[in-house]
Amino acid sequence: MDNAIYNQVRDLLDELHSLAGLKEKDIVVVGCSTSEVIGEKIGTSSSEDVAKSIMKALLEKAEEYNWSLAIQCCEHLNRALVIERETMERYGFEEVTVVPVAKAGGALAAEGMRSFKDPVVVETIMAKGKAGIDIGSTLIGMHLKPVVVPLRFNNKFIGKAYVTGAKTRPKLIGGERAKYTREGS
């Protein structure tokens, strides 16, 4: 296991939790190119060791904060997601039949299949993700709720991969006369 990567991910997830105002059972989407983490071009050098380090941190923090994790597969599986069966059943998502591997799904998705308690793959979470992290430009936005707000992290890298974060908020509707807080109504 790579302790530096593990610690970077743990710190990043604490920051995500704080910045995004996450609550229990919120879906946190994670996209990751382990190739980018080790300084290679996305999709060229999957690393099982890096995936294990990242997954260990993800599982620990998901348990600590009681999040529902959704690990995005790569483009070869149309960015399907590995989630726990319990999450699929809670939200009414539909399971698909595929087993992510390093070269078709990605090393982190493959590690999710090995590490989750009862993993399933779903094609979509119907834009139900509350927040997420994108390690190495894997493009997780399609899985988040409609109004996405970028997050600025203190550490912008995991290994050599650039990290982008996002949270979501409800839509603002009603125009210039509308009020968006309950004070003064």
pLDDT higher than 70, residue 166: yes
Count of domains observed in the chain: 1
* 128: in domain: yes
* CATH code (residue 24): 3.40.50.10360
The answer, yes or no, to whether residue 177 has pLDDT greater than 90, is no
Q: What does the alpha-carbon distance between residue 66 and residue 63 come to, in Å, rounded to a whole number?
A: 5
Q: Residue 159 and residue 8: Cα distance in Å, rounded?
A: 8
Q: Which domain holds residue 9?
A: 3-168
- Euclidean distance between CA atoms 23 and 55, whole angstroms: 20
DSSP 116-175: SSSEEEES--TT-B-EEEEESS---GGGB-SSEEEE--S--EETTEEEEEEEE-PPP-S-
- pLDDT score, position 162: 97
179 domain-assigned: no
- Specify if 174 maps to a domain: no
Q: Is residue 97 part of a domain?
A: yes
Is 30 inside a domain boundary?
yes
Structural domain includes residue 185: no
Query: What gap in Å lies between CA 43 and CA 71, rounded to an integer?
Result: 16
> What average pLDDT score do residues 3-22 get?
97
**Which pLDDT belongs to residue 185?**
56
Average pLDDT over residues 105-120: 98
Residue 17, in any domain of the structure: yes
User: Among 182, 78, 184, which Cα is nearest to 124's?
Assistant: 78
141, burial (CB in 10 Å: exposed 0-12, middle 13-18, buried 19+) = middle
- Each residue's pLDDT tens digit, 48-71: 999 999 999 999 999 999 999 999
Residue with structure tokens 């974060």? 165
Tell me: the pLDDT tens digits for 116-130?
999 999 999 999 999
Which pLDDT belongs to residue 181? 86
